[in-house]
Chain A
Amino acid sequence: MGIALKLVAQRIALSLLLLFLVSGLIFAGTQILPGDVAQSILGQSATPEALANLRRDLGLNEPALQRYISWLGNAMQGDFGTALTNGQDIISSLSGRLKNTLFLAFWAALISVPLAIFLGLVAVRYRERWPDKLISAVTLTSISIPEFLIGYVLMYFVGVKLGWAPTVSTVYADMSLGAKLQAIALPVTVLTLVVLAHMMRMTRAAILNVMQSAYVETAELKGLSMFRIIWRHAFPNAIAPVVNVVMLNLAYLVVGVVVVEVVFVYPGMGQYLVDHVSKRDVPVVQACGLVFAAVYIGLNIAADVISILSNPRLRHPK
């Protein structure tokens, strides 16, 4: 267990360092324009007094490094400051919306992950025959389609023409679970379709890779049943790559959520971010950017950790 634990600790330390650097990058990204934030919020026609006032309110008169340190220090204590546009506390708006976004992503993952692994297995089982070819054709098509197209096509046909699901996904805190699930039926379907193809294709590649190895051939030559070969010999070795695939796609899901939330007017993080980008509300954008990056890095590191832990050579060193 020693080596594996050490590796896991290393990865986690590395990801914390990465997150720290990313926070710096996000902060710097909002400082690189020719004027400054105050100028871009108020526009070219702003009076000098208004500019000076806003600069003072934003603390822009202090050097950038000092502002970064105090921003990061507050952010680590869960304080992202207040939104410029409505003066509300960012963290309280953010936490409710983050919950909504994770709720949406959770259901999409719950449906897409088992389905993708199952279909990936089907593609391997019927390799080079029609189910496999159909799956790769659908994959090629679906990576070429923007999320909002799938969203609007579903909204138009399923929501409006058939009337099976609501076209706008409004959810409140005190809605029952059933009502919530009905409200998010369409966005969950869109997200599932968006990640399904990619996840399926990568699962197929990962399992094929294992199936072509020498020990699987040996197992076949020993005369083991197909089920036993897959279950005892191929599957344990495919866990790491498949988990990697799943985590990478979940990370993608979190980003895909941004567009899907806007399409279905779902009160989540993505919509919050997009709204405030167009209003040039920099503190909100920084906070959302940091949270999205943290989730993304977190999922990537989880993939790393699981693949380390599922590697028997690292778990039982000689």
Chain B
Amino acid sequence: MRMPLSARIGLFFTAVYFGAAIFAPWIAPYGMAEIVGDVWEPISADHLLGTDSIGRDLLTRMIYGGRTTIFIATMATIISFVTGSVLGFLAATLGGWADQALSRFVDLIMSIPTLIFALVLLSVMPVDVPVLILVMGLLDATRVYRLSRAVAVDINVMDYVEAARLRGEGRAWVIFREILPNALSPLVAEMGLRFIFMVLFVSTLSFLGLGVQPPEADWGGIVKENKDGIIYGIPAALVPAFAIATLAISVNLVADWVLNRTTSLKGGRG
């Protein structure tokens, strides 16, 4: 099937952002914490996006910030997916008591708004990158759990799973060789959406001053550092916010395409 234009645009920009994140030290024109000019210098040939609240090159901060944001979001997505899908598949295959206990516990966690619960947890945790990734990943795993359990429950009653069981295969085989390959496509589409959610989540936390701590840069943190300029008509804080939005929209376009493709492969339910 040909890729629609929107998905190509999305893929292109996603690749640009990831490329910039991976090769940050080679692309960035200055050092990350290097003070190279005056406070909030306007856009010029030396500073393509101007300078920030204490005179660091904004483009450099953006590139390094994107690196942090994308790294944290990716790691948290991986944790969320591994935990959520393994537990979801386990709950679906075990059934009965274990399923009830896990599902009700997940319901309980989901009855508290994620941001509020994350704030409660971060109020007592040391705020550093591993803790952030873990808190975000585990809180979001509840959503992945729900999806993967729902998908796996459907697959679990299929004839080929029954056949595998009768053959005498163990639970690990059923989960990894029967359920996982068939559950992969909805999970992959969901992964894009979870990744966006993570980008927004970590940016929000950093914006609130509870995420990545200075002098490390990340997009939410750059908004926070430069927000005071807004009142004086200096748009520096809008740059990272714009980057967050374009990255999220690009990934969304790709995820949307994957989702459409997988549903049409299955005879198109939606």
Report which A residues bind B (CB closer than 8 A): 18, 21-22, 25-26, 29-33, 37, 40, 140-141, 143-149, 152-153, 155-156, 160-161, 167-168, 251, 254-255, 258-259, 262-263, 273-274, 276-278, 280-282, 285-286, 288-289, 292-293, 296-297, 300
- Residues of A near B196 (CB, < 8 A) are 144
CB contact under 8 A between A148 and B241, given known A22-B112, A156-B230, A293-B116: yes
Cβ-closest 9 pairs across A and B: A144-B248, A149-B241, A255-B113, A285-B123, A277-B123, A289-B120, A144-B249, A292-B116, A145-B245
The answer to whether the Cβ of B207 comes within 8 Å of any Cβ in the partner chain is yes
CB of B123 within 8 A of CB of A146, answer no
Q: How far is the CA of A262 from the CA of B227 in the complex (A)?
A: 11
User: Which of B26-34, B74-82, B232-240 contacts its partner?
Assistant: B232-240
Asked if A152 and B125 sit within 8 Å, CB to CB, the answer is no
Q: Given the complex of chains A and B, what is the CA–CA distance between A141 and B204 in angstroms?
A: 18
Known: A289-B116, A293-B111. A145 touches B210 (CB 8 A): no
Q: Given contacts A144-B245, A258-B115, A286-B120, is CB(A25)–CB(B108) below 8 Å?
A: yes
Min CB distance B34 to A, Å, is 26
Contacts of A143 in B (CB 8 A): 252
Chain B residues whose CB sits within 8 angstroms of the CB of A288 once the complex forms: 116
Q: Which residues of chain B have C-beta atoms less than 8 A from A278's C-beta? A: 208-210
Instruction: Specify which chain B residues have a CB less than 8 angstroms from the CB of A32 in the assembled complex.
Output: 121, 124
Q: Which of A156, A255, A285 contacts B120 (CB 8 A)?
A: A285
Provide the B201-225 mask, 1 if CB < 8 A to any CB of A, else 0.
0011001111000000000100100
Residues of B within 8 A of A254 (CB): 113
- Least CB distance from B82 to A in Å reads 21
In the assembled complex, the Cα of A222 lies from the Cα of B17 at a distance in Å of 57
In whole Å, how far is B258's beta carbon from the nearest beta carbon of chain A? 14
**Interface SS of chain B:** helix
In the assembled complex, which residues on chain B have CB atoms less than 8 Å from the CB atom of A21? 108
The answer on a CB contact under 8 Å between A292 and B113 is yes
The residue in chain B whose Cβ has the minimal distance to the Cβ of A36 is B124
Contacts of A277 in B (CB 8 A): 119-120, 122-123, 208, 210
When distances are taken between beta carbons in the complex, the residues of chain A under 8 Å from B252 are 140, 143-144
- Cα of A152 to Cα of B64 in the assembled complex, Å: 22
Whether, in the assembled complex, B200 has its beta carbon less than 8 Å from a beta carbon of chain A, the answer is yes
* B178 sits at the interface (CB 8 A): no
- Residue A259 contacts which of B117, B208, B245, B253 (CB distance < 8 angstroms)? B208
Of all chain A residues, the one with the shortest Cβ separation from B252 is A144
| B243 smallest CB distance to A (angstroms) | 10
Q: Contacts A144-B252, A293-B111 known; A274 to B241 CB distance under 8 Å?
A: no
A86 CA / B231 CA spacing, docked (Å) = 30
- Contact status of A153 and B113, CB under 8 A, knowing A40-B124, A146-B204, A276-B123: no
* A30 x B242 contact (CB < 8 A): no
In the complex formed, the residue of B with least CB distance to A146 is: B200
Q: What residues on B are CB-neighbors of A18 within 8 Å?
A: 108, 111
- B99 beta carbon closer than 8 Å to chain A: no
B226's nearest neighbour on chain A, judged by CB, is: A152
- B73 CB to closest chain A CB (Å) equals 13
User: What is the minimal beta-carbon distance from B199 to any residue of chain A, in angstroms?
Assistant: 9
Q: Check if A146 sits within 8 Å of B245, measured CB to CB.
A: yes
B121 touches A29 (CB 8 A): yes
B244 and chain A: residue at smallest CB distance? A146
Cβ of B249 and Cβ of A167 under 8 Å apart?
no
- Most-contacted residue by chain B among A160, A277, A288 (CB, 10 A): A277
